[in-house]
Chain A
Amino acid sequence: MKQITVSNVDKIYNSTKENAFYALKQISFEIEAGEIVILKGVSGSGKSTLLSLIGGLSKPSSGDIIVEGETIAKLPDRLASLYRYERVGFIFQSFNLLNGLNVYQNVTAPLMLSEWSASQREEKIDRALQIANIAHKKKQKVSDLSGGEKQRCAIARALVMDPPIILADEPTANLDTHNSLMFIEILKTFKAMGKTVLIATHDVLFEESDVIDRCIRMKDGEIVS
Chain B
Amino acid sequence: MEIATAPASKAFGPPVSPRSVAQAMARPSRFGDKAFEWLTFAMALTVAVLVVLIGWELWHGSVLAIKKFGFHFLVTSTWDPVADQFGALPFIYGTLVSSLIALLIAVPLGIATAAYLTELAPLWIRQPLVSLIEMLAAIPSVILGLWGIFVMIPWLRDYPFAWLKRLFGWTPLFGGPIYGPCMLAGGIIIAVMILPIITSVSREILRSVPDLQREAAYGLGATRWEATRIAVLSYAKKGLFGAVILGLGRALGETMAVTMVIGNTPQIVASLFQPGYTLASVLANEFTEATTDIYLQALFEIGLVLFGITILVNLLAQLLLRTIATTSATRAVQ
A binds B: no
Interface residues of B (CB under 8 A from A): none
